[in-house]
Amino acid sequence: RTDEDIAAAVLNRLDWDAAILPDTVTAQVQDGWVSLNGAVDWNFQKDAAALDVRSLLGVVGLSNQITIKPRANAHNISEGIKGALGRSWFFDPKRVGVDVEGDRVRLTGSVHTEHERNLAAMTAWGSPGVAIVENDLAIV
């Protein structure tokens, strides 16, 4: 098989693997040697891509250079939200508290209007790694 045929087979096989999201992995083929590149969320996805490719006809070797995307940690989430709120002229950073536990964010403190309260929640929702926002901001 030609390198072009192998590359097409690799991409087709990866497209059919439900564990691998579309357009996250690319492949280059040279003399039957396949190099996988891209970034995925979990190690099992990286392993699945390699397993998919190894058994294809014409593949003589594999370089799996797929990386795992770093997961956001609580400190990074908290600092990101605090930084975004601090850059906004709507908020006094001393009046808004941000507590993060896992992927859950809790906003505490006080703001002046309902608009500010909603804006703070939208800011928290916009931070990578956030799955739940508890908006306990009081309007004073």
Q: What is the pLDDT of residue 71?
A: 74
Residue 75: which residues within 8 A CB-CB, separation 6 or more?
Answer: 100
Same domain, 94 and 54: no
Same domain, 49 and 83: no
H runs (alpha helix) in 1-140: 3-16, 43-54, 74-87, 114-125
Instruction: Give which of 87, 26, 83, 76 is closest to 53, Cα–Cα.
Output: 26
Same domain, 7 and 42: yes
Q: Indicate the pTM of the whole model.
A: 0.59
Residue where one domain finishes, among candidates 68, 98, 120: 68
Q: What is the pLDDT of residue 75?
A: 87
Residue where one domain finishes, among candidates 32, 47, 68: 68
Same domain, 48 and 97: no
Same domain, 14 and 57: yes
- Residue 39 and residue 23: Cα distance in Å, rounded? 10
Give the tens place of pLDDT for each residue, 27-58. Answer: 999 999 999 999 988 889 999 999 999 999 99
Same domain, 60 and 8: yes
Give the residue numbers spanning the domain of 27. 3-68
Give the tens place of pLDDT for each residue, 50-108. Answer: 999 999 999 999 999 998 887 778 888 899 999 998 888 777 878 999 999 988 999 99
For the cut 80, the answer to whether the pLDDT of residue 131 exceeds it is: no
pLDDT band at 126 (very low <50, low <70, confident <90, very high): confident
Q: What is the pLDDT of residue 62?
A: 98
Same domain, 64 and 83: no
- Residue 137 and residue 114: Cα distance in Å, rounded? 9
Q: What is the pLDDT of residue 57?
A: 96
Q: What is the pLDDT of residue 119?
A: 93
Domain count within the chain: 2
CATH number at residue 37: 3.30.1340.30
